Structure 1
Amino acid sequence: MPMPPVTNVEDLRLLAKRRIPRAIFEYADRGSYDENTFRANREDLHALKLRQRVMIDVSDRQLGSTMLGEPVSMPVAIAPTGLTGLFHADGEILGARAAQRFGIPFCLSTMSICSIEDVAAAVSKPFWFQLYVMRDRGFAKSLVERAIAAKCSALVLTLDLQIQGQRHRDIKNGLAVPPKLTLANALDIATKPAWALKVLRGKRKSFGNLAEFVQGGRNITTLSQWIAGQFDPSLSWKDVAWIRSLWPGKLILKGILDIEDARIAADCGADAMVVSNHGGRQLDGAPSSISVLPSIVEAVGDRTEILFDGGIRSGQDVLKALAMGAHGTMIGKAWLYGLAAGGEAGVTRALEIIRKELDVSMALTGTRDLCEVTPAVLHKPKSDDVVRPGGPRLAA
């Protein structure tokens, strides 16, 4: 289905909402519990103001950078997102292809619909693989071995999902994998015939990386129930050291929100860490990612690369995160909206929008090179401005 003209990521979000079932859309679009942290991610980014500069020669702007030592066309990576292949048939493959052509990293989730091998066969450039360490350590080891065999260029170890935060909408929507046709959702799916034709009739409808492991949970009806039985609350930093011993390549630790944890993560030999609260989908009441980013950069930024995740929907957001100290950023919801709205072309459109916004924002802040972005890009509030607890300074 062709996409109508879109000018921002919100346009893609609204298209996605119309084109895919509510249960799948809200899996990406919503947060945990009362969604306070989910909202704070966006609100605190919005609260940061850019410093407008004029009469500076910005005719030669450089958006290129590096992430984990590899050149990128802009400092943005596609974040690992579960169930991507339910947003569009072969969704992970389409996202990896779009990222490869755009010149940015793509990260495949453990909870993907397309398997590691599916994606590796579809692209020529190595991609990142995100790992959840489950109760069965032998299975976790096999995933690492498969990522090595697929020549993945980095392993992203997620730290903040030992126990799943409750996502009310997933439970109320009865989100299941593979999708099940029930009386409750039949009418909704009937209004999305293009999605149903491609996804429900496609060959990939369940967890591609977990096909054999999930068999014991086939009678459990919701994703939340299945995950609750498989994730391991006993995980500790010893397990991070174990994964480090198994993985010979670049290691990224995702889910850091505290200075003490950041220091421990750096001690573990992480090549990079992602300042993230899981998109506001885990601990509700935790601070926004952007509000803690500067303190973590100050604590360990000279020891490891700091990436940022949490609420980015625009090029302006990317510039703000870089100004607050991030070396690079990750997008989750933004690329899923594009995928659901228009497949591979939709993902490409989301990336084009973010890149164009980033380019224009650079020019209007007098910025020539993203590698030289400092806090000076941000508008400095007056001394009588107020600070919202847990968030950045807001104008009074």
Structure 2
Amino acid sequence: MKGVVNIEDLRKLAKKRLPKIAYDFIEGGTDDEVGLGTNEQAFRQARIVPRYLVDVSVRDQSTTIFGRTYSSPIGIAPTGLAGLFRRGADLMLAEAARDANVPFIMSGSSTGSIEDLAKLAPDHGWYQLYSSKDEAISEDLIKRTADAGLKTLVFTVDVPEGSNRERNIRNGWGRPLKLSWATKLEALEHPAWMLEWLRHGTPYFSNWAKYAGPNASADKVADLVAYQNRAPMTWKHVERFRSIFKGNFVLKGIMHPDDAIRAHSLGVDGIMVSNHGARQLDNAPSPLHVLPAINEAVGDKMTVMFDGGIRRGLDAIIALCMGAKFVFQGRPTLYGVTAGGVQGAKTALGIFRREVDISMAQMGATRISDLGPHYLMWKDEEDLRRNRR
């Protein structure tokens, strides 16, 4: 995309296209939004110590998890309501991930369907599951994921209740939408988005249509999703869903080593260390702060992945050095697809790939498997001796 150099450029283009009510949904956190800064600042505080006199003329960032090798260690995390920001965005993101050979996790609040994802990106599509009040719906979604041939199911566990997202409250976000005249007038300043909204209306949650009754309207399906997704989640659900799904079973939202240990004991294949993009508990630590302890607890037993605050390729490298086997980001590719459709999402992934490659050269690493704590600034002499290679 012309003039786009980094993820920040894509964010500005996405903001220009969207009305405030939609942009704030992407960008916002909860309460005072301290957590948003916490996630990003954790990376600013980390320091990489480069190793020179290394031949870095050939570099390889391919990464293998769950028996599949991807071209880069950065995938696309689930981002709900992507179809509100650009119609068809979920499958556009899947196409971009497929072409870049990285995984894409379809949100449980997507407007694309599990079956369409499996047709478009069978080797790159994962599905995100939220617990439903009606457990028969959860079990059917799991069955559909398996029947479609998708090999990885991601059970998101860090939304026990809706959070206090004050930007959304002020904008009248909710079911039903209660838009002020100011909000409606501001939306008119974004004609491309407004035309799409007037033409198509409320995004249609395709995965949920069958549960809302015959010929259910988009609004009726959206009401069902809002109702069903406020459901209890316990370790019993983990055991049950693990027993049903025979593929790779991942828990997203783990933030404590003891929870990671328990997940492993129940046969979970992988965890994603994440605080839901700082959208649930405002004073939670950054996932980067807890990643080393979680990796120490279970890193040799299961696949530890990371999500939260990634805005640069170097951010991904820092998380990989701290123990993550793979990294996911959500907002950056959402900015991209909002701003430029499939090409915008591809641009975001290309930016990350280029930045990872340059950073590896600068620090003296030629393979992702080379990365580890020995590249991080040591805390004291004992730490230096432990990490010296």
TM-score normalised by the chain length of structure 1: 0.89
The aligned residue for residue 302 of structure 1 is 300
Q: How does 1:40-79 map to 2 (within 5 A)?
A: 40-79=38-77
TM-superposed CA distance for 1:254, in Å, is 0.5
Q: In 2, distance between residues paired with 1:286 and 1:381?
A: 23
Q: In 2, distance between residues paired with 1:335 and 1:46?
A: 21
Residues 218, 171 of structure 1: alpha-carbon distance in 2 compared, 3 angstrom cutoff: farther
- Contact map agreement 1:75 1:329 (CA 8 A) in 2: yes
The aligned residue for residue 331 of structure 1 is 329
- Contact map agreement 2:172 2:179 (CA 8 A) in 1: no
Give the counterpart of 2:9 among 4, 8, 11.
11
TM-superposed CA distance for 1:198, in Å, is 3.4
Mapped pair 1:210 → 2:189 = no
TM-superposed CA distance for 1:187, in Å, is 1.9
* RMSD between superposed Cα atoms in Å: 2.5
Give the counterpart of 1:150 among 109, 128, 148.
148
TM-superposed CA distance for 1:89, in Å, is 1.2
TM-score normalised by the chain length of structure 2: 0.91
Give the counterpart of 2:29 among 22, 28, 31.
31
Q: In 2, distance between residues paired with 1:204 and 1:294?
A: 42
The aligned residue for residue 190 of structure 2 is 192
Give the aligned residue type for 1:154: T
Give the aligned residue type for 2:118: A
The aligned residue for residue 118 of structure 1 is 116
Count of aligned residue pairs for this structure pair:
379
Residues 199, 297 of structure 1: alpha-carbon distance in 2 compared, 3 angstrom cutoff: same
- Contact map agreement 2:205 2:218 (CA 8 A) in 1: no
The aligned residue for residue 234 of structure 1 is 232
Q: How does 1:375-386 map to 2 (within 5 A)?
A: 375-381=373-379
TM-superposed CA distance for 1:120, in Å, is 3.0
* Identity percentage of aligned residues: 39
Q: In 1, distance between residues paired with 2:115 and 2:200?
A: 17
Residues 324, 345 of structure 1: alpha-carbon distance in 2 compared, 3 angstrom cutoff: same
Give the counterpart of 1:372 among 370, 373, 377.
370
Helix, strand or coil: the match of 2:128? strand
- Contact map agreement 1:77 1:106 (CA 8 A) in 2: yes
Q: In 1, distance between residues paired with 2:296 and 2:122?
A: 37
Q: In 1, distance between residues paired with 2:204 and 2:188?
A: 21
Give the aligned residue type for 2:69: P
Helix, strand or coil: the match of 1:92? helix
TM-superposed CA distance for 1:184, in Å, is 3.5
Q: In 1, distance between residues paired with 2:48 and 2:202?
A: 44
TM-superposed CA distance for 1:57, in Å, is 1.0
Give the aligned residue type for 2:352: I
Give the aligned residue type for 1:136: D
- Contact map agreement 2:109 2:205 (CA 8 A) in 1: yes
Mapped pair 1:172 → 2:170 = yes
Helix, strand or coil: the match of 1:128? strand
- Contact map agreement 1:76 1:330 (CA 8 A) in 2: yes
The aligned residue for residue 391 of structure 1 is none
- Contact map agreement 1:334 1:350 (CA 8 A) in 2: yes
Q: How does 1:72-87 map to 2 (within 5 A)?
A: 72-87=70-85
Return 5+ residue gaps in structure 2 as ranges: 382-389
The aligned residue for residue 387 of structure 1 is none
Structure 1: which 4+ aligned runs deviate by more than 6 Å?
A: 177-181, 217-221, 225-228
Residues 168, 227 of structure 1: alpha-carbon distance in 2 compared, 3 angstrom cutoff: farther
TM-superposed CA distance for 1:24, in Å, is 1.7
- Report the more deviating stretch, 119-128 or 164-173: 119-128
Write out per-residue CA displacement over residues 235-274 of structure 1, whole angstroms, 9 at most, x where no aligned residue. Answer: 2101111001111111011100011111111111111100
Helix, strand or coil: the match of 2:29? coil
- Contact map agreement 1:178 1:205 (CA 8 A) in 2: no
TM-superposed CA distance for 1:177, in Å, is 6.9
Residues 282, 97 of structure 1: alpha-carbon distance in 2 compared, 3 angstrom cutoff: same
Write out per-residue CA displacement over residues 48-94 of structure 1, whole angstroms, 9 at most, x where no aligned residue. Answer: 01213333210011110112221100111110110011121100010
- Contact map agreement 2:15 2:23 (CA 8 A) in 1: yes
Residues 366, 275 of structure 1: alpha-carbon distance in 2 compared, 3 angstrom cutoff: same
Q: In 1, distance between residues paired with 2:202 and 2:140?
A: 21
TM-superposed CA distance for 1:218, in Å, is 8.6
Give the aligned residue type for 1:340: T
TM-superposed CA distance for 1:178, in Å, is 8.8
